[in-house]
Amino acid sequence: MRLLIIGNLDGQIGAAARIAIERGASVAQVDNVEAALESLRAGQGADLIMADVRLDIAFLVKSLQSERINAPVVACGVGNETRAAVQAIRAGAKEYVPLPPSAELIAAVLEAVTEESTTLVSRDPKMTDVLKIADQIAPSDASVLITGASGTGKEMLARYLHGKSKRRNHRFVAVNCAAIPETLLESELFGYEKGAFTGAVARRLGKFEEAKGGTLLLDEISEMDVRIQAKLLRAIQEREIDRLGGGHPIKIDVRILATSNRVLDDEIAQGRFRQDLFFRLNVVNLHIPALAERPEDIPVLAEHFVRKHAEANGIKLPAISAEALAKLKRHSWPGNVRELENSLHRAVLLSAGPEIGPEAIVLGGSRTAAGATAGSGNGAARVGRTVADVERELIIDTLAHCLGNRTHAANILGISIRTLRNKLKQYNEEGFAVPLPREGERPAV
């Protein structure tokens, strides 16, 4: 991921940057908010902005919103700057990170924004066959459509393709078409000129120009509005784009990868996706099987995730007991690899000894580590209840299962992140307890 730090790198903010680099982030630094905005307008790009809480966070957030720059802001400052932290959150910062920085907290914040690994662990023949084709087509410039259910690892496969391509020394830029509001997606992709709309105080390069020479991933492209699909089709056909408010076309040099968890033939039939765009994107199709269809991957992935989360949490590497592994193999994994990782992450935290036992494996709708059965899994328990009540319980249980991770929960539920956020806002307003983001991510104020 790309982290932009605003503030002096001397002292504690510098320590936070070093931790981020150790966790695999690419870090850039500027001294003030204006320099940060100039960098972003010029197409330098950032997946996350970490800003000194003493800076004008309100102006930064307002500028990002008015200029349609989609990058979350995290404020950071010494632990006793409580008032400034509260003001930063009220101004629109997503989180507050107290300094001196905790490695675990920095890791949690980075993980919440992006999971950027190109390591694909597999042993099952169905998946190794997919990887063989990926290796064969990676050096080409052909557009690739990666399909599969939510949580199967479509973005990771896209990063794998980029890492083995001739463009690997240039940028990999991902755009989540489901997470960015429709009104912002066009400017996010194509950029804009000064004065193109209210708030466009300077030229800003879009993701196509940001990915120059590299790879552009259009994640969950089925969520893209048909009007923007038309502009995307022209960009692919003509190898040029028009910035919003621009007077002449801009030549582009990117490889296009796209993912979808929907059946695009059905979307085309319903008039929600352009057939001509589908043909342009689907030069090569890589379909990732559901985890239940590749059972030989379960043990090797389980070991991989246990090692990953034990190291991340400073825990001595535990073994997976035969009983726990058998429990993993029996599960149907509706949330696929993402659900498996969440389950093993939780198991690492819950295990008290040198071995992960079956009691630490919390699956399905279970609400507690003790394995309490979720009422939502019992058909009789639903009788006499409203659809809204059952839906709320399902959403909140799934969110708890995902340790509060909104993106993961939305994918498991099969809804957009926008829909999930709207539902959670409604539940909060109605007084229901909504799981917070995973531990360590909330502001310590």
CATH fourth-level superfamily of 125-289: P-loop containing nucleotide triphosphate hydrolases (3.40.50.300)
pLDDT at 365 exceeding the cut of 50: no
* Nearest-angstrom CA–CA distance, 208 and 190: 6
Q: Which of 39-43, 327-331, 397-401 has the lowest mean pLDDT?
A: 397-401
Q: Which of 50-64, 112-126, 154-168, 239-253 has the lowest mean pLDDT?
A: 112-126
* Nearest-angstrom CA–CA distance, 305 and 118: 14
Class of 293-429 in CATH? mainly alpha
**CB of 175 within 8 A of CB of 217?**
yes
C-alpha distance from residue 165 to each of 122, 146, 153, 190, 333 (Å): 20, 16, 19, 24, 32
Looking at 3.40.720.10, 1.10.390.10, 3.40.50.2300, 1.10.10.10, the CATH number of the domain 2-113 comes to 3.40.50.2300
> Residue 232 class from Cβ within 10 Å (0-12 exposed, 13-18 middle, 19+ buried)?
buried
Split at pLDDT 50, 70, 90, the class of 88 is confident
Pick from 378, 411, 405, 408: which is nearest to 393 by CA? 378
Residue type, 403: L
Residues of the chain with CATH 3.40.50.2300: 2-113
Calculate ∠ Cα 438-442-445, nearest 5°.
Answer: 155
Residues of the chain with CATH 1.10.8.60: 293-429
Query: What is the CB neighbour count within 10 angstroms for residue 283?
Result: 14
pLDDT at 380 exceeding the cut of 80: no
For 18-72, write each residue's pLDDT tens digit. 777 776 678 888 989 999 999 998 888 788 899 988 899 999 999 998 887 878 8
User: What pLDDT score does 443 carry?
Assistant: 31
For 92-151, write each residue's pLDDT tens digit. 888 888 877 677 667 666 665 544 445 688 999 999 999 999 999 999 999 999 999 988
Residues of the chain with CATH 3.40.50.300: 125-289
Of how many residues is the chain composed?
445
Question: Is the pTM higher than 0.75?
Answer: no
Tokens of 151: 């949580």
